[in-house]
Amino acid sequence: MELTKVIAELRAERAAIDQALAALDRIARATTGKRRGRPPAWLAATTGAIPLEEEPRKKRSLSPEVRKKMAEAQKRRWAAYRKDQNGAK
């Protein structure tokens, strides 16, 4: 192996170890005393108590035909409502 590759791998390992130590340090500080309520997001993320969504959900879109059909149905509902309101007076 090349020496530069070895150095890069060791640096990546050191970064991963530093992250793990930081997470463990946060957990150790958070669990020293009793606390009430929901744990903070960073603590839940490190302990895995609350699964975080990795990707936001895709927004659902309706086709133009479906939108037109829905608009027509709503117009019919409003027309029936207005007819009922006029007849009740």
**Domain segments of the chain: what residues?**
3-51+63-88
Question: How do residues 36-56 score in pLDDT, each as one tens digit?
Answer: 777 777 766 655 544 555 677
Question: How do residues 1-35 score in pLDDT, each as one tens digit?
Answer: 699 999 999 999 999 999 999 888 888 777 666 66
The whole-number pLDDT of residue 32 equals 65
Total length of the chain: 89
The whole-number pLDDT of residue 40 equals 73
How big is the chain by its Cα radius of gyration, in Å? 29
**CA triplet 44, 48, 50: central angle to 5 degrees?**
60
Q: What is the mean pLDDT of residues 60-68?
A: 93
The H-assigned helical ranges of the chain are 3-30, 41-47, 64-88
Q: What is the mean pLDDT of residues 71-87?
A: 93
